[in-house]
Amino acid sequence: QVQLVESGGGWVQPGGSLRLSCAASGSIFSIKAVGWYRQAPGKEREFVATITSDGSTNYVDSVKGRFTISRDNAKNTVYLQMNGLKPEDTAVYYCNVDVITLGTWRMNNYWGQGTQVTVSS
């Protein structure tokens, strides 16, 4: 009963920027944490960044200084600003949320549908 809609992916040249968004809707009481993950062809899905309800953030070493995760609590939306993109950033990016759902009042986890990011000249 919670839906995640991702947007913002596309093609960009090396050194360019993209901003991904993940909008949550449905039976949400509160969002506890949101993470971004990515999966490149032939590779395992890997953690990219996360933000918790208190605003704490974490990043995988390979994106530190280039990517920034942020949130708009009023819109139940989380963003991933990606600067200085490299070909190795090419992947399908997925958002993942830990949310307290209405009615059950328990923690549940949901995945977005994924959005393609391609970095190429």
Residue 94 CB neighbour total at 10 angstroms: 21
With a cut of 90, say whether residue 1 has pLDDT above it.
no
Diameter of the chain by CA atoms? 49
63: CB partners within 8 A, 6+ apart: 48, 49, 82, 89
pLDDT beyond 90 at 101 = yes
pLDDT digits (tens, 9 = 90+) for 11-25: 999 999 999 999 999
Q: Which residues, other chains included, contact 64 with Cβ-Cβ below 8 Å and sequence gap of 6+?
A: none
Instruction: Give the residue carrying structure tokens 């949310």.
Output: 99
* Each residue's pLDDT tens digit, 33-80: 999 999 999 999 999 999 999 999 999 999 999 999 999 989 999 999
